Structure 1
Amino acid sequence: MFHRIPSEVSFEWVYFPPFFFTVVFGFVCTLGVAKLLNSAGFSRFFWHPGLAFVSLWVLVTSLIGLTVIPP
């Protein structure tokens, strides 16, 4: 069976693209990973923590987008 990927998700008369939820879920997952890295002490190895956070956010969002919403 083929599963159709919705082109828009309706929420209280506001339409969101499916990638919006992927980005938000990726951000939440990245917050958790960053908190784990900070508590374990691995964040001291990053030259620029903000840049590392953004790159981790892009990586996690890409992985979620490729597995949850396949192209």
Structure 2
Amino acid sequence: MNQMPHDFAVGGVYMPPLMVAGFLGVLAAVATAWLLNRCRLSKYFFYPPLVFLALSVIYTVLIGTFVVKV
């Protein structure tokens, strides 16, 4: 059966599932970037902001696919 994605209600405000997945993806990317900076592994990247953007997109797609079910 094909189910339509439902909106998330937070305090009476409805948010689309992709917005929730994007927010969680950015939070996961912030945590990963912090961990990379803490372990001094980010110095091996040519342009760390681009790595942060790529991590945000990857985490958003993974969270949207497996957790939020966009």
In the TM superposition, what is the alpha-carbon distance from 1:63 to its structure 2 partner? 1.1
Cα RMSD (Å) of the superposition? Answer: 1.9
In the TM superposition, what is the alpha-carbon distance from 1:16 to its structure 2 partner? 1.4
In the TM superposition, what is the alpha-carbon distance from 1:13 to its structure 2 partner? 4.3
Judge conservation of contact 1:27–1:61 (CA < 8 Å) in 2.
yes
Amino acid at match of 1:31: V
- Of 4-13 and 40-49, deviating more is 4-13
Residue identity over aligned pairs, in percent, reads 32
SS in 2 for 1:10: strand
SS in 2 for 1:41: coil
Q: 5+ residue gaps in structure 2? A: none
SS in 1 for 2:9: strand
Counterparts of 1:19 and 1:37, CA distance in 2: 26
Counterparts of 1:66 and 1:13, CA distance in 2: 25
Q: 5+ residue gaps in structure 1? A: none
* Greater relative contact order, per chain length (Cα 8 Å cut-off, separation 6+): 2
Judge conservation of contact 1:19–1:65 (CA < 8 Å) in 2.
yes
TM-score for both structures, normalised by structure 1: 0.80
Closer, same or farther in 2 for the Cα pair 1:27/1:35, shift >3 Å? same
In the TM superposition, what is the alpha-carbon distance from 1:66 to its structure 2 partner? 1.4
SS in 1 for 2:6: coil
